[in-house]
């Protein structure tokens, strides 16, 4: 059975990588982050021209209507090149939330085409996040209102909120405190309907953060490999020292062990599996561990200079630290994983449970396995 990505998916990933290699080089990102907004309208326009903003927008609203799995490799590239948050929050999380509205809904008809063409930014304020990313730059805000019956979905314009920009040691993050008042005029979905939308949005946000952490880990590894090949001590490249090689080999192990967990979670979210929360929390924890471990070992081989502004490593290391707490920190996802495993009489652990359709989605046959990921693209 083939669980690898298709040639089309790999080609798509490679084309995005080549684009970002030129348009999101570290020296260009530094210039962008030192501006007042920390964002580049030119880069945003180029991203939209590549079609990336319309990946999750339904075809009826001018998008491509692609699946969750199609984001698996793309989100790793977003992390590898440390792109701003707006791409993920707008094109994937917010697009999914607006697509959940009924056909013909005024917000769906108005904003999904704008997202697809890249003419707007949407900020998402999920209950699990203390602050809202890019709220000060957003054209639209999707905000939660927690009630005893569930979480309502409210939609506001920036002028309807009090937005306070906050500082972050990660220059790529633009976090804000948003104060607003819930009303009938801003409510789009009630607590029952809204809860379902917010639950799925939280899973998508956590999964994107996990995938970006994996991409960041790979970038820090690549930077470290380049550095130890050039840095010399005792007239030898430090990469020839066994202790340094062990540091880098351990990063590779963490990354490779996290990949299948991440890809399995993307499959679970696309198919709405019953153990979705367990899969995504597992992926977030594994990828967070890979990100933290890569940052620690990369800093070890770079020395203290790796934390300075002039060295590229610090850009990706700081981003990994902040994403670790985004869309649920380690304590949150550890609690979800523990609860999900203990309350399930057939917990999804072990090789035999990886694609056990009877346990996870109630199919008749226990031996029925998933379609290869490569088939998802063709479907």
CATH number for the 195-378 domain, one of 2.60.40.10, 3.30.420.10, 1.20.140.10, 2.40.160.40?
A: 1.20.140.10
- For residue 190, what pLDDT is reported? 96
- For residue 176, what pLDDT is reported? 95
| Model pTM score | 0.89
Q: Kindly tell me the burial class for residue 308, based on how many C-beta atoms sit within 10 Å of its own C-beta (0-12, 13-18, 19 or more).
A: exposed
Rounded to whole angstroms, how far apart are CA atoms 265 and 273?
10
DSSP assigned state of 89 = I
How does residue 366 score in pLDDT terms, banded at 50, 70 and 90?
A: very low
- DSSP H/E element including 122: strand 122-124
Average of per-residue pLDDT across 236-254 = 85
Question: What are the boundaries of each domain within the chain?
Answer: 195-378
Average of per-residue pLDDT across 240-261 = 90
Rounded to whole angstroms, how far apart are CA atoms 122 and 107?
12
Rounded to whole angstroms, how far apart are CA atoms 311 and 187?
46
pLDDT tops 90 at residue 376: no
Buried b (16+ CB within 10 A) or exposed e, 148-174: eebbbbbbbebeebebeeeeeebbbbb
- For residue 60, what pLDDT is reported? 92
- For residue 34, what pLDDT is reported? 86
């Amino acid at each position: 059975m083939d669980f690898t990505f298709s040639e089309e998916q790999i080609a798509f990933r490679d084309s995005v990588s080549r684009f970002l290699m030129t348009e999101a080089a570290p020296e260009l990102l530094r210039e962008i982050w030192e501006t007042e907004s920390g964002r580049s309208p030119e880069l945003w326009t180029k991203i939209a021209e590549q079609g990336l903003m319309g990946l999750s927008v339904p075809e009826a609203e001018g998008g491509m209507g692609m699946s969750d799995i199609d984001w698996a490799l793309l989100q790793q590239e977003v992390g590898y090149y440390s792109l701003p948050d707006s791409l993920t929050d707008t094109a994937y999380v917010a697009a999914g939330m607006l697509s959940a509205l009924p056909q013909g809904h005024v917000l769906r008809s108005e904003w999904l085409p704008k997202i697809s063409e890249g003419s707007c930014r949407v900020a998402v304020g999920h209950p699990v996040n203390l602050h809202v990313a890019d709220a000060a730059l957003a054209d639209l805000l999707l905000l939660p209102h927690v009630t005893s019956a569930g979480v309502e979905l409210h939609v506001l314009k920036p002028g309807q909120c009090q937005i306070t920009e906050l500082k972050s040691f990660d220059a790529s993050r633009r976090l804000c405190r948003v104060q607003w008042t819930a009303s009938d005029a801003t409510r789009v979905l009630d607590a029952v309907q809204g809860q379902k939308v917010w639950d799925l949005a939280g899973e998508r946000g956590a999964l994107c953060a996990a995938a970006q952490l994996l991409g960041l880990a790979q970038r820090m590894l690549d930077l470290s490999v380049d550095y130890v090949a050039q840095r010399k001590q005792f007239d030898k490249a430090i990469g020839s020292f066994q202790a340094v090689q062990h540091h880098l080999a351990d990063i590779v192990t963490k990354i490779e062990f996290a990949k299948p967990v991440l890809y399995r979670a993307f499959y679970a979210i696309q198919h709405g599996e019953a153990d979705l929360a367990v899969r995504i929390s597992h992926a977030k924890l594994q990828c967070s561990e890979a990100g933290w471990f890569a940052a620690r070992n990369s800093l070890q081989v770079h020395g203290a200079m790796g934390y300075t502004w002039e060295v590229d490593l610090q850009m990706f290391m700081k981003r990994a630290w902040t994403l670790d707490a985004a869309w649920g920190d380690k304590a949150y996802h550890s609690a979800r994983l523990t609860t999900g495993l203990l309350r399930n009489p057939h917990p999804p652990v072990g090789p035999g449970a990886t694609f056990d359709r009877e346990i996870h989605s109630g199919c008749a046959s226990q031996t029925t396995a998933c379609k290869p990921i490569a088939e998802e693209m063709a479907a």
